[in-house]
Structure 1
Amino acid sequence: MTKKYAIIVAGGSGSRMLSDIPKQFLNLGDRPILVHSIQRFIAIGRIEIVLALPKNAIEYWDKIKTEYFENTQNIKTVEGGATRFQSVKNALMSIPEKEGLVAVHDGVRPFIPTKIIEETFRLAAIHKAVIVAVDSKDSVRLTKDEKNFSIDRKTVKLIQTPQTFDLEILKDAYQIDEKETFTDDASVVEQHGFSIFLTEGSYKNIKITTPEDLEIGEVFLKNLNE
C-alpha cells in the first residue's frame, strides 16, 4: 500500500486577524482552527502528518496537542521557515522516504471535505501532481502596466489546498532556488517541468485569514453540527 503524508503549513501570524494569537490557534467552535484541519486528514486513516510551525509556536503546540489528539505519534512537528516555500521544504526534508504520496495543506483551511482529500490522493497516484480548484464566481480583470483588462472568468480557476503529489517529484522540485512567483506548491512543481492536474474543490474550503473569514467559519461549523 502506498504510504501517505500530509504537510500542514501553519506559519501565519495574527496580524490580519487583528489578534495577538497566531490565527491557526484561534478557536473555531471549541477547538483551534489548526486542530480542525489536522483532524480532516487523520479522518482518512493511515496517514502521517508533518506540521510546519514557527519556532515560537512549537512549545505552545506541544502543550495543547494532547487535549485534542489521543495519539500524537503520527503528528511530527518541524520548524517552519521565513516563507511558505521554506516551510514546505523543511517538512519534506523531515520525511526520510522517497516513495509515497504527499498532500500539502494550509493549516487555516479547516473545512476541506475528507472525500476531496481522498480524491486528490487517488488522482496523484495517476497524474503525479494534483491540485483542487473552483471556478471564479466574480468578474475578473487583469492588471498590467497601470492598465486593466476584462478577461473571461470561465478561463480562471481559484486555487485551494490540498495540493497532492508524488513524494519523489515534490522533493526533487523543492531543490530549485526559491522565486517570488512560487505562491504555492504547484508553481514549484510546474517550474520543475511537470504538468498540473486540476480537480474540483469546495467553496466551503475557505482560508481563514481575517475576522470576516472567522465569522463565516462559525456559520459553516454550526451547519455541520446541526
Structure 2
Amino acid sequence: MKYYAVIVAGGAGNRMQTETPKQFLLLNNLPVLMHTIKAFALSEFQPKILLVLNQEQHSYWNKLCVEFNFNIPHTIISGGKERFHSVKNAVDTITEESVISIHDAVRPIISKDLIDKSFQYALENGNAIAAVKPTDSIRKKKDDNTEAVNREDFFMVQTPQVFKSDIIKNAYNLPFDNNFTDDASVVEQSGIKINLIEGERNNIKITYPADLEIAEWFLNKNAL
C-alpha cells in the first residue's frame, strides 16, 4: 500500500494582521509550513508529500527552501479557487491505490503518533478524522436568541483527515458545494460513514497572532 500526505497551504493570513501568509510566518526561526512537512516526514508510513500552494507563491516557497536549507522531498501542486478545488487538484494526481492524509499546513504541532494512528485506522476502516471534545460551554443560535446545548453532543474537527484513495477520489468527483467545510463533509456527502478518532489538544490551527506564541510554547515543551 502507498501513502500520501496532502498539505493544504492556501491561506492568505488576513486574520494574522500581517501581509505574509500565515504558513510562511516564522515559528522557532523556521516557517510554519516547514514544521508541518517535517512532522509527516517522520511518520513510520513515509508518505509521499504533496504540497498545495497558490500558483503565485511557488517561487517564494522555493526561495524559502533555499534560505532555510530545507530539503525534505515534496511535490508542489497548484491550488484552486476554494479549498475544495485545491484538495481535488492534489487528489487527482494520485493514480495508485493508496491511503491519503489531508492536513492543514498551519497545524504544525501535530505529533508523529497522531499521524501514524490516523494512517493505520484509515487503512483498516476506510477513513479517520481527528477530532476533540469541546471544553467550553456551547450555545446555539436560534432566531434572534441563543439556547444552551449539551457539549457532549459535539466534536471540534481537526486534521489530518485520512481516506483510502478510492473513497476520497470518488467524493471529489462531486460538484463543489458551499456547505463543504472540510474533506469529511465532502466524503459524507458521497454516502460514506465518517469515523472519528481522538485528536490532540495541541494540534492547534494557527489563525490569530496569539496562536504563534502558543505553538512556540508547545514546540519548546515537546523539545524538553
**TM over 0.5, shorter chain:** yes
Supply the AA of the counterpart residue of 2:51.
L
Aligned to 1:26: 25
Aligned to 2:166: 168
Aligned to 1:70: 71
CA distance in 1, matches of 2:101, 2:56: 25
Aligned to 1:154: 152
SS of 1:9 mapped into structure 2: strand
SS of 2:222 mapped into structure 1: helix
Q: Deviations over 1:16-61 (max 9, x none)?
A: 1111111000000020000000110010142101111011111111
TM-score of the superposed pair, with normalisation by structure 1: 0.95
CA distance in 1, matches of 2:183, 2:129: 9
SS of 2:128 mapped into structure 1: strand
1:86 aligns with 2:85: yes
Q: For 1:75-224, what aligned pairs fall within 5 Å after superposition?
A: 75-97=74-96, 99-224=97-222
Q: Deviations over 1:163-210 (max 9, x none)?
A: 000011101100001111110000000000000111111100000011
CA distance in 1, matches of 2:114, 2:150: 27
- How far apart are 1:70 and its partner, in Å? 3.0
Residues 187 and 64 of structure 1, relative CA distance in 2, 3 Å threshold? same
- How far apart are 1:107 and its partner, in Å? 0.0
Q: Confirm or deny: 8 A CA contact 2:41 2:72 kept in the other structure.
A: no
Aligned to 2:4: 5
Q: Deviations over 1:51-103 (max 9, x none)?
A: 1101111111112224343342xx11011012110110011112232x11000
Residues 202 and 68 of structure 1, relative CA distance in 2, 3 Å threshold? farther
Supply the AA of the counterpart residue of 2:134.
S
Q: Confirm or deny: 8 A CA contact 1:129 1:194 kept in the other structure.
A: no
Supply the AA of the counterpart residue of 1:143.
K
CA RMSD of aligned residues (A): 1.2
Q: Confirm or deny: 8 A CA contact 1:35 1:68 kept in the other structure.
A: no
Q: Confirm or deny: 8 A CA contact 1:128 1:165 kept in the other structure.
A: yes
CA distance in 2, matches of 1:140, 1:14: 27
Q: Confirm or deny: 8 A CA contact 1:106 1:161 kept in the other structure.
A: yes
SS of 1:16 mapped into structure 2: helix
CA distance in 2, matches of 1:94, 1:224: 35
Which runs of no fewer than 5 residues in structure 1 stay unpaired?
none
Aligned to 1:57: 57
Supply the AA of the counterpart residue of 2:217.
V
Which runs of no fewer than 5 residues in structure 2 stay unpaired?
none
Q: Percent identity?
A: 43
Aligned length: 222
Q: Confirm or deny: 8 A CA contact 1:37 1:111 kept in the other structure.
A: yes
CA distance in 2, matches of 1:127, 1:116: 16
Q: Confirm or deny: 8 A CA contact 1:141 1:148 kept in the other structure.
A: yes
CA distance in 1, matches of 2:72, 2:52: 18
